Amino acid sequence: MKSFDVVVIGAGPAGYIAAIRAAQLGLSTACVEKWQDAAGEYRLGGTCLNVGCIPSKALLESSENYERVQHHFKAHGITATGVKLDLKAMLARKDRIVDKMTTGISGLFRKNKVTWLKGQGTLVSGGTTWKVRAGEETVEAKNVVIATGSKPRQLPGVTIDNRLVCDNEGALAFDAVPERLGVIGAGVIGLELGSVWRRLGAKVRILEALPTFLPSADESVAKEAWSIFTRSGLDIELGVAIKEISQSKKSVKIQYTASDNSSKTFECDRLIVSIGRVPNTEGLGAENVGLRLDPKGFIEVDKNCRTALPGIYAIGDVVRGPMLAHKGEDEGVMVAEIIAGQHGHINYDAIPWVVYTAPELAWVGKTEQQLKAEGVAYRSGRFPFVYNGRALSREEPEGFVKILADAATDRVLGVHIIGSIASELIAEAVSAIEFGAASEDIARICHAHPSMSEVMKEAALAVDKRPLNG
């Protein structure tokens, strides 16, 4: 029987990063992964790289370019005629990117001497060491890191066939642009996938059960996003209750109760169900070793991702906290370093959120509504992109940066952005919160001119009511 210092179950972003870091620290490491593509080939990268973050961003970029050439290039003095959509080529590009990324991880495993065990990873038994079944073989581990990720939440009574009724995986591989697209769920996945197919020509209606739009975001950002998204063509209804979903050979009919209690029916050519994700512990064998799950199915861990069982850790989507790939990656590094006897650490208050729509949304730290609920005295500074020369030159003047700082200490408590490349701009805010910076620190840092990042500086200046360019 093969024996390892560390066996990681799951090779998504959390798992493969944990495995690589453990190997870098001199620990003999194996990683178990069961993911197979349509051809039956085993693949690393989990949901994120295969049917999640990476392919969706590829299609978002392609669809945004398609919309730019159709509607936005004219402002630059560029007139394009005969523009055609080649969906097959677009999807092939997406698949090439996925292949490059997943193949790259196998190369990293070889470089760092991580053993890849192919098949389902299952906890078999424990004691002083742990036995893990990996496909057809069983291995022994001093430490086990569970990184089995998440899977789409199912809508009761609705069968996902990934032909007419799809989850995120099916929605990334339509064989044609639907004339009418329904989306259930106005969260990150629903908005991103809805945006892709709207830009490519679909009429999109998004149905959301919650009465508020993007409740996790700062209210001012959510309000601005609602205005921009609905103006651009996304038909979003809040506070709905799905009553029945039925299929014919070529369409899907959704019957629902609207927020005003009226009954409505919507018929579409394709339906995407994106009502969140749930932890994936199926086949893990938690019951074999007494591993505790909470009522929602998450593995119970402490602040350092330790379970109650010695030598077993869990990270990523399968534990508490936001289901974000980068959060899982940082947990993977932390756990590997703790196993190696170092002092791994994560600041959960400095994890950024991003919605890759157009414009993008990004935030880190506390929202204004959270600070009010907690009774924290704060000051706010906000600056729009419409006054920024780089934003105007890019024809992307929508949105703003908003900084929330402690009223007494000026320490940055939260930063919220809606605008072009918000996903890149948020990194400065993450650094500020991580290192305990004040808004004045951001205001005093020299930002390149002209650049989108100048809006971050102006928002920091606005906290003290002294913006220079607006």
Q: In what helix (H) or strand (E) does residue 183 lie, and over which residues does it extend?
A: strand 180-184
In sequence order, the 6+-apart residues with CB closer than 8 A to the CB of 169 are: 51, 162
What is the DSSP secondary-structure string of 39-74? TS-B-SSHHHHHHSHHHHHHHHHHHHHHHIIIIIGG
Give the whole-angstrom CA distance, residue 16 versus residue 9. Answer: 9
Largest CA distance in the chain: 71
Residue 449 annotated in active site: yes
Q: 71, 76, 345, 449: which one is catalytic? A: 449
One-letter amino acid of 159 = T
Helix (H, G, I), strand (E, B) or coil at 446: coil
| Residue whose token pair is 């453990």 | 22
Query: Between β-strands 312-314 and 137-146, what pairing exists: parallel, antiparallel or unpaired?
Result: parallel
- Is residue 77 left, alpha or beta, with left meaning phi > 0 and alpha meaning psi from -120 to 50? left
CB atoms within 10 A of CB 96: 11
**Of how many residues is the chain composed?**
470
* Residues with active-site annotation: 449
